[in-house]
Amino acid sequence: MQNSYLHQTLLETPKATTQLASRLAPLLRPGDTLLLEGPIGAGKSHFSRALIQARLAAADIYEDVPSPTFTLVQTYDDGLCEIWHSDLYRLTNISDIDELGLWDAFETAICLIEWPDRLGDFAPKNALTLTLLPADLETQRIARFSATDPKWHRYLQQAGLVDGP
C-alpha cells in the first residue's frame, strides 16, 4: 500500500472555498470520489454545491443545487457524466447504501460524499478525502487533502494547489 498523500491549505473566505471547488471540478472523471469530512457547518455542502455548479456551468447548464440532507442523494448530469452528491448524515444502516445505488455510482459517476464515516470500511480506497475544519476566524477553513492514489497528487498539482511531481 502506498503512503497517503497529504496537503493542507487555508481558505480565508467562503469565496476561496468556491474557487477551490471550481479549480478541481474540470479535473474530475467518472469513478472519482471525494469524501468530505468535517463538523457541521464546516463547508462540505458549500464546497459540493460550488463544484457541481462549476461542472454544470461548463456545459451551459444552470440549476439549483440543494443539499441532499433529507433525500440522501441528489444526481446531476453535466453532459459528460453523472455527478452524485450524497449526504449520509442521516444514514442509519450500511445496507441502505444498496438502495441508494452508490456502489455502482462509485464506478461510473463523480461522487461527492458528505459524512463518509457512515460508509465504514466500504468507502472507496482510491478516493480523495477532503477534511474541512474551522480555523481562527469565523470565515476561515482549513482544507486537508489525503489520498493513496497518486492521481490525486496530479489533480491537486493541475489545480495549482501543490508544486511539481
Q: Are residues 105 and 82 in contact, defined by beta-carbon separation less than 8 angstroms?
A: yes
What cell does 36 get?
Answer: 468530505
Q: Which amino acid is at 66?
A: P
Is pTM beyond 0.75? Reply is: yes
Q: Domain residues of the chain, as ranges?
A: 5-158
Question: In whole angstroms, how far apart are CA 91 and each of 63, 70, 73, 97, 113?
Answer: 26, 10, 11, 8, 12
> What DSSP character marks residue 4?
P
Burial classification of residue 109, based on how many CB atoms lie within 10 Å of its CB (0-12 exposed, 13-18 middle, 19 or more buried):
buried
Residue where the block lists cell 480506497 = 125
As assigned by CATH, the class of the 5-158 domain is alpha beta
Residue type present at position 12: E
Structure confidence by residue, pLDDT tens digits, 5-63: 788 999 999 999 999 999 999 999 999 999 999 999 999 999 999 999 999 999 999 98
Mean pLDDT of 110-138: 93
